[in-house]
Amino acid sequence: MKPDKETSTLFNSIIGKATVKQEVYRNTYDAFSKFKGVIKQVVKEYQNSDPHQVSNIPFEYKNRGEFEVELKFAGDILVFIMHTNVFAFPRKHEVMNLPYVKEDHDRCYCGIINIYNFLGDSFKYKRINDLGYLIGRIFINKENHYFIEGKREIGLLFKSFDIAKMNDETARNIITSSIKYTLNFDLLTPPYEEVKLLTVHQIQTTLDNMKIKTGKRLGFKFQADMDEYEDENVDNQDFH
């Protein structure tokens, strides 16, 4: 028994959308594999740069699973995480106004690779209450086009969504820019009011389990970094 016209249309919609999302997923997965490969290469280059210096300053690659990779350098850690789902943008998002997307709505479906910055000591001492910060995220669509939402150096890498394609060179630029941003993103003293009180339990607990949070911008709104960068255009986004 063949489905009626309405049911056939429904089935075609299911197949069409699922096919697009599968394409997006494959492109995002391939891009994430590029990130892993480039990080490994950059680590090798660092290790070969100055044997007398690199032995004291770590610069290490760690595979944390199929969808997560870690890059540790000096006192910082960058964690690259690929989300396994595919997303569309809200109607009011600037991407939705691009002619490139208006010509083909399916181009707005994107996979996401997030880049987080953590303190190395947060992992070393298992300070589970410490904070990490999203410093950038890469969106990749069915045509392997990409754009970036990010902070300062990372945001400056943005290219037009309609022509920018993900490749090894792009991945390398994103990784090196993320490192540069992290090096300039210093640990600030938390506001006095945030740390003036301490419980007996906290002071008696070992360092591994202390509930005092540590983060580079603890107590400040990272989304704008207004306390330090109020005169700078931090996000540097241009969708056109």
- Cα angle at 161 between 155 and 164, to 5 degrees? 85
pLDDT band at 228 (very low <50, low <70, confident <90, very high): very low
Beta partners for residue 62, in sequence order: 70
**Alpha-carbon gap, residue 140 to 163, rounded angstroms:** 12
Structure tokens at 3: 């489905």
pLDDT band at 140 (very low <50, low <70, confident <90, very high): very high
Render pLDDT for 184-208 as a digit per residue (tens, 0 to 9).
Answer: 877 767 777 876 776 766 666 654 4
**Alpha-carbon gap, residue 21 to 15, rounded angstroms:** 10
Q: What letter does residue 224 receive in the DSSP assignment?
A: T
Render pLDDT for 9-41 as a digit per residue (tens, 0 to 9).
Answer: 999 999 999 999 999 999 999 999 999 999 999
pTM strictly above 0.75: yes
Render pLDDT for 83-101 as a digit per residue (tens, 0 to 9).
Answer: 999 999 999 888 899 999 9
DSSP string, the chain: ----HHHHHHHHHHHHHHHHHHHHHHHHHHHHHHHHHHHHHHHHHHHTT-HHHHTTS-EEEEE-STTEEEEEETTEEEEEEE-SS-B---TTSGGGGSHHHHH-GGGG-BEEEEEEEEEHHHHHTT-TT---EEEEEEEE-TTSBEEEEESTTTGGG---TTT-B--HHHHHHHHHHHHHHHHHSPPPPPPHHHHS---HHHHHS-GGG------TTTTS-TTTTHHHHTTS--S-----
